[in-house]
Amino acid sequence: MNIALIAHDEKKDQLVQFSTAYQTIFSKHTLFATGTTGLRISEATGLEIHRFNSGPLGGDQQIGAMIAKNEMDAIFFFRDPLTAQPHEPDVTALVRLCDVYSIPLATNMGTAELLIRGLELGLLEWRKFVGKSSDKTDGQ
């Protein structure tokens, strides 16, 4: 499965710790991340991660493009709800795309724990069959 790892600055340490704790599970999947977050996780875990731009420089939009093409299966996005983000419209668009394409999205440690356990148990296997031929059509 294709999994994206994203974290706002104040949550990067938490996502690095989470990724380290669940390194064995993540190692079985193809990982993508925004710039600095991906670098920090890769350095801490040794996991191979395809890195996009940082979020404010378009990384969120690059991941959003993968979602729109149904090429992303789950997102771990540790958001900081207490700090204003200069690229908040991009963040909102990413969350909206997850809803449009039924992509599981964990925005905090609680839902991340549930999502990672679901991955471990194979509960996201339905992603292999849903929408791969894309039931969305241009203009609709």
Instruction: Report residue 136's pLDDT band, with 50, 70 and 90 as the boundaries.
Output: very low
Catalytic residue among 60, 73, 80, 135: 60
Structural domains in the chain, CATH included, are 2-127 (3.40.50.1380)
Instruction: Report residue 131's pLDDT band, with 50, 70 and 90 as the boundaries.
Output: low
Does the annotation count 135 as an active-site position?
no
30: exposed, middle or buried (C-beta count within 10 Å: 0-12, 13-18, 19+)? middle
8 A C-beta contact, residue 106 and residue 115: yes
What confidence tens digit (pLDDT) does each residue in 22-50 have? 999 999 999 999 999 999 999 999 999 99
Which residues face 81 on adjacent strands?
Answer: none
The model's pTM: 0.89
Residues in the chain: 140
